[in-house]
Amino acid sequence: MSVKQAITATKGAKAALSVALFSLMCWGAIAQKKAITFSPNLYNIENTSDETFRYTATLKNSSDEAKTFALEAGVPEGWRASFKVRGSSVRSLKVDKDKTESISIELKPAHECKPNTYKIPVTAKAENEDLSFTLEAVVKGSYEVALSTPSGRLSGKVVEGEKMEFALKVTNTGTLPLSELDLSARTPSKWEASFEPETIENLQPGKSTEVKTTLTVPEKTLPGDYITKFTIKNTESRDTAEYRVTVETSVLAGWVGILVIVIAVGIVFFLIRKFGRR
């Protein structure tokens, strides 16, 4: 082979290589343009079992045609999954070509869900398309509190102008410790409520404690039933209980009332006898 022929062959090889590279780049650009992606912003979220796990995913359709995707989540038994697009719940979603949709994914654990790391597969299926990823929901337990009385009875009696004392029972019904639980009361007008202690510093799961409660009823309170609403709460949980108080008149007030009636009747009888003869 002469030098001229060698140069010509080299130029030909370079030209062929350039064409091949150009073709590869074009094919790559076309493939990239037609790519469809489905991915979450966060894969892992930690929360309590009484809270909803909320994720956001992006579905991008870079193909040259619109596609309708069916959305599914493989949640454990007792869990609930929902998808929302622009605030509306959906189970399928049409994405036009060269468009991107943001999808909110909400996972609600089962009521008796145990602390653990749960893997949730999420899929978006369309014709000739099957996109998926796996979310992680780390359940760390639950904060729950219950308010009642030791007997469960939420009623009592008191004489107007006196104080009544009873116990409120606070129970940690969750799986995580509770701290800084504060008690408060919404009483009838001019009534007063006090607690001992006012704050429960710490309450372990499954444990209960009693709080001495005092209600002060003002004098001249009319007889009848009155409702006081008690609330126990901290930053993680709260519960309420309504306590019915029946106010009765004191014995002395009753005798005074009878005496007033007797005097009134006597005055009327006297007036009738005195003026009735005229």
Domain limit, last residue, from 122, 139, 156? 139
Residues 124 and 166 occupy one common structural domain: no
pLDDT in tens, 29-72: 444 445 899 999 999 999 998 899 999 999 999 988 999 999 99
pLDDT in tens, 231-268: 999 999 999 999 999 999 865 455 455 666 767 666 76
Tokens of 210: 């009693």
What domain count does the chain have? 2
Once rounded to an integer, what is the mean pLDDT over residues 66-94? 95
d(CA 200, CA 203): 7
3-state secondary structure labels for all residues of 14-33? HHHHHHHHHHHHHHHHHHHH
Residues 154 and 134 occupy one common structural domain: no
φ/ψ region of 247 (left if φ > 0, alpha if ψ in -120 to 50, else beta) reads beta
CATH number at residue 166: 2.60.40.10
Output the pTM of the full model.
0.62
Residue 270, domain member (yes or no): no
Instruction: Give yes or no for a contact between 188 and 234, defined as CB atoms under 8 angstroms apart.
Output: no
d(CA 273, CA 276): 5
Split at pLDDT 50, 70, 90, the class of 168 is very high
Once rounded to an integer, what is the mean pLDDT over residues 193-216? 96
Planar angle of CA 142, 147, 152, nearest 5 degrees:
130
Q: What pLDDT is stored for residue 50 in this prediction? A: 85
Residues 113 and 87 occupy one common structural domain: yes
Split at pLDDT 50, 70, 90, the class of 270 is low
Full domain range(s) for residue 163? 145-253
Residue 10, domain member (yes or no): no
Residue 210, domain member (yes or no): yes
